[in-house]
Copies of this chain bind each other. A is one copy, B any other.
Amino acid sequence: MNETIEILLNHRSIRKFKEKPLKDEQIFQLVEAAQMASTSSYIQAYSIIGIKDPEKKAKLAKIAGDQSYVANNGHFFVFCADFHRHEAAGELEGVDVSEAIESMEKLVVGITDASIAAQNCAVAAESMGLGICYIGGLRNDIQATADLLELPEHVFPLFGMCVGYPEAAPSIKPRLPKEGVYFEDSYPSDDKHFEQLNKYNDTTTAYYESRTGGKRKDRWTAQVSGMLSSIKRSHMKGFLHKKGFGRN
């Protein structure tokens, strides 16, 4: 196994960081790595906002559900899907791009582009001995997040990412069995899913028991079905539509 794959397999989210800010040259290195990720037809439909202002970090931490590590880390990035730049490009060229950029297809492209750039940033950070944590909680009040960052139409904050020097190394969470995620040539029957889910429940039960000295009784299917028993962030559809995404 090579060094890079070792880094990938060693990933765990870090939620406690040393009080040591990243240097600008580290930040730029991470941005450069993010930018070299693939991008759909060279479209580069994302922007990255680094938050240094402690007041803004505190506000984002609150939006994310009082996650203290959103405020306390080495650096905090917000990854945004962004077609505002393409509007400006259209203006320079005298081309109306509005119908295209407001399509569902371009919502998909913006999320994809921002996500794979972010993952390059995460991998680069981990290769430098830093830890990371994605913060979807910025979408708890995505309007407030967008307002705080002064995002115009055709830009929205997809997620944040804490980066910093890890204060603790939590254990690695076991993933679904490979046979439950990877299939060949076609999608499997439900029987296969049930078989893999039952197997995975045993794995996750053992994981939570060993982490908590037997205290936490849980299993993956209970965890996710509980989480999915009611709709969350139901404002997303209206917000995206208002911001000029997924209209067409």
Mark A residues whose CB is within 8 Å of B: 1-5, 7-11, 13, 27-29, 31-33, 35-44, 46-53, 56, 84-86, 88-90, 92-93, 95-97, 99-101, 103-105, 108-109, 111-112, 115-116, 118-120, 122-124, 127-128, 132-134, 136, 139, 149-152, 155, 158-159, 172-173, 175-176, 178, 180-187, 190, 193-194, 197-198, 220-234, 236-237, 240, 246, 248
Q: Is the CB of B43 within 8 A of A108?
A: no
How many copies of this protein are present in the complex?
Answer: 2
**Least Cβ–Cβ distance between A229 and chain B, in angstroms:** 5
Q: Is the CB of A220 within 8 A of B89?
A: yes
Q: Is the CB of B224 within 8 A of A127?
A: no
Most buried by B among A132, A185, A220: A185
Q: Is the CB of B225 within 8 A of A86?
A: yes
A116 surroundings in chain B (CB, below 8 A)? 115-116, 118-119, 122
Q: Is the CB of B105 within 8 A of A47?
A: no
Q: Is the CB of B197 within 8 A of A4?
A: no
Q: Is the CB of A228 within 8 A of B5?
A: no
A172 surroundings in chain B (CB, below 8 A)? 36
Instruction: Indicate whether A9 sits within 8 Å of B32 (C-beta atoms), given known contacts A2-B128, A103-B231, A183-B50.
Output: yes
Cβ-neighbour of A103 out of B108, B111, B233 (below 8 A)? B233
15 pairs across A/B with beta carbons < 8 Å? Answer: A4-B7, A5-B33, A35-B178, A40-B134, A50-B185, A51-B185, A89-B197, A93-B226, A100-B228, A100-B230, A103-B231, A103-B234, A104-B246, A149-B185, A149-B187
**Least Cβ–Cβ distance between A40 and chain B, in angstroms:** 5
A36 surroundings in chain B (CB, below 8 A)? 8-11, 172, 175
**Least Cβ–Cβ distance between A219 and chain B, in angstroms:** 9
A230 surroundings in chain B (CB, below 8 A)? 99-100
> With A and B bound together, what is the CA distance between A108 and B237 in angstroms?
10
Q: Is the CB of B136 within 8 A of A233?
A: no
**Least Cβ–Cβ distance between A218 and chain B, in angstroms:** 11
